[in-house]
Structure formats: structure tokens, C-alpha cells
Amino acid sequence: MAEYKHGEMDISDHTRTFDGFMTFVTRAVIVILLLVVWMAIFIT
């Protein structure tokens, strides 16, 4: 079994994927909030 060495794994792909996920979630939340505001103004 290999020796464990803390902090030697390349996590650049993981970091890029997480950043993309956070960007997607942020944009989705903004769109949902804008939709709710639009509905509150124009549908009532």
C-alpha cells in the first residue's frame, strides 16, 4: 500500500468543476428570483 502524502493530489479538475457548478447555481438563483419578482409585479 502506498504511503499517504497530504496535499500532493492534483485537484485542478475538481476545482474547475466546482467553480462551474457554483456559477451555474448562482445564475439559476438569480433567474428564479427575477421570475418571482416579475410574477409578483405583473400577475397580481
| Angle 20-25-27 from CA coordinates, rounded to 5° | 95
| Residue reference for cell 457548478 | 21
pTM over 0.75: no
- Dihedral angle over CA of 6, 9, 12, 15, nearest 10: -50
Other C-beta atoms lying within 10 Å of the C-beta of residue 29: 10
1-44 pLDDT per residue, tens: 678 788 888 889 999 999 999 999 999 999 999 999 999 999 97
From residue 39, alpha-carbon distances to 10, 26, 34 in Å are 46, 20, 9
